[in-house]
A and B are shown apart, each in its own frame.
Chain A
Amino acid sequence: MGNRTVIPIGPYHPLQEEPEFFRLWVEGETVVDIDVNIGYNHRGIEKLCELKTYDQIPFVVERVCGICSTSHPLAFVNAVEDLADIEIPERARYIRSIIAELERIHNHLLWVGLAGHFLGYNTVWMWAWRYREPVLDILEKITGNRQNYAMMKVGGVRRDIEDADIPDILRLVDDLVPAVDMFKGAILDDPVLHARLKGIGVLTKEEVHNYGAVGPTARASGVAVDVRRDDPYAAYDLVDWDVVTQEEGDVFAKAVVRVLELYESVKIVKECLERLKKTKGEIDVKVKEIPSGEGIGHAEAPRGEVFHYVRSDGTNRPIRHKIKSPSYTNVPTFKATVIGGTISDATITLAAVDPCYSCTERVAVVDKKTGRRRLNGEDLVRLSQEKTERIKRSMGL
């Protein structure tokens, strides 16, 4: 064992999102071990749900994670509909898919932007977030809010999409395609990114199975798991789309999966909107009572599978509600991807699974033996950006 240094990352960092605390053990430049300490955001939502009625719970679970704010309610209503054996109208199924896919589009654009920032491409960050705005505008038009859409309820959806709005929404979605083309070009054709990201943070197929990774993290390693196809809910079995996979399992493959998924999501939204024009009728069914029993439901969030379990005793509140979110199994894959890499790759490897935070800021390095060397979060991002610069120089750019 060489001269080990501990690098604490977090728990608070200014760029964004949740507090999480990482400890990286490094020998020189190489990361030899990692530990994750969470709990700063624990609010007790599962217990809170036992105090709420079935109509109120979608609002609570929506706030489990703001970016997956359709996936959690969707998984919950799937669970209750499984429990009470409710069949929802076709129109509601299309609307559910449209909202879920719009959420995926804005989330993946958000990730592309943040990944660009970590690599020293701040322009990508600004552009990606600029093209995210029209998606939020569509969602605001349909649901009345930019985030936290409150669209799901047991037995259907809360709001309809008016026929008069559909051409406008289609136009905004069509406008996204050239933007996605641009990002695809910027990522897939950029020699610097190829050199920077290929072979970094590799997650093998076997490790995906061992850690139980889900979503784009698994699909980038060649494991084609997707709840939308494996156990269809909403309208995913009614429209035509493909599961995107890559074989390599490195950070580059994860980026490619996300960018290509944008095309699939646009395809699904457009087809659902076309079908919606022809499908008339109710958007929900009246649910009189929830029988006793238990139900499970899942949904494919932008980051992977969201799983909800509900047990009912026949009253208007569940007696047990269990939530499993995708990051819960994706975060431990850091053990496989970060260890053995360098510190300058740790940033982008941690960000590559899109774990709901950027854990790069506010870092302090304290070497136990030699004393006081300190490194803050900006230094970590700088190290990452410098590596990109080095690669650029060596390629003569």
Chain B
Amino acid sequence: MKLKLKALTKSPWVFHLNTGACNNCDIEILNVLTPKFDAERLGVLLVGSIRHADVLLVTGPVTRQAAPRLKRLYEQAPKPCFVVACGTCATSCGIFKDAYNVVGPVDKIVPVNAYIPGCPPKPEALISALVKLLGTVK
């Protein structure tokens, strides 16, 4: 396990999951990969399949239809896998707290390792969260 964790910190592969977000967090996540911020130079890579992922990056307040899928994806992820709740919706449901179709926040469904508040979080905040998260792995 220790070796696995150590390897994970070198180049975290991220699977991004939208559970009912408004797109802003998702756009900012993509923004992190584009020239101004360019997190790919730090080894961060968005991957197409949860089975390749080290980090499950969840945005959105978890709608009724998305909740079972979030759970299933977490079960399919190879462990160790970090779960990061990105944005105010994912951390606390925010403005959608009273909505009838929202069952979140994310930590009600799956265990969460890091929270990034903000609506949407700035790309700098996303990078900082990643650095802090990997800093906790020792």
Contact = CB atoms under 8 A, between A and B. Distances in A.
Interface of A: 11-19, 39-45, 47-48, 51, 59-60, 63-67, 69, 110, 125-127, 129-130, 133, 145-148, 356, 361-362, 376-378
Contacts of A59: 95
Nearest to A145: B119
B83 interface: no
Given A130-B35, A362-B49, A44 B23 contact: no
A45 B102 CA distance: 10
Contacts of A40: 19-20, 63, 65-66, 69
A43 B27 contact: no
A33 B111 CA distance: 41
B35 A15 contact: no
Interface of B: 15-31, 34-36, 46-49, 60-61, 63-66, 69, 73, 95-96, 98-102, 119-120, 122
A218 B71 CA distance: 40
Contacts of A39: 65
Contacts, number: 123
B100 A47 contact: yes
Which of B21, B31, B46, B48 has most chain A Cβ within 10 Å? Answer: B48
Nearest to B122: A146
Nearest to B24: A66
A44 B100 CA distance: 6
A41 B20 contact: yes
A65 B61 CA distance: 14
A69 B25 CA distance: 13
Nearest to B94: A63
Nearest to B25: A66
Contacts of B18: 12, 17-19, 41
A126 B34 contact: yes
A42 B16 contact: no
B95 A13 contact: no
Given A110-B27, A129-B31, A63 B73 contact: no
5 contacts: A16-B23, A48-B96, A48-B98, A51-B98, A63-B96
Contact of A17 (B27, B69, B99, B101): B27
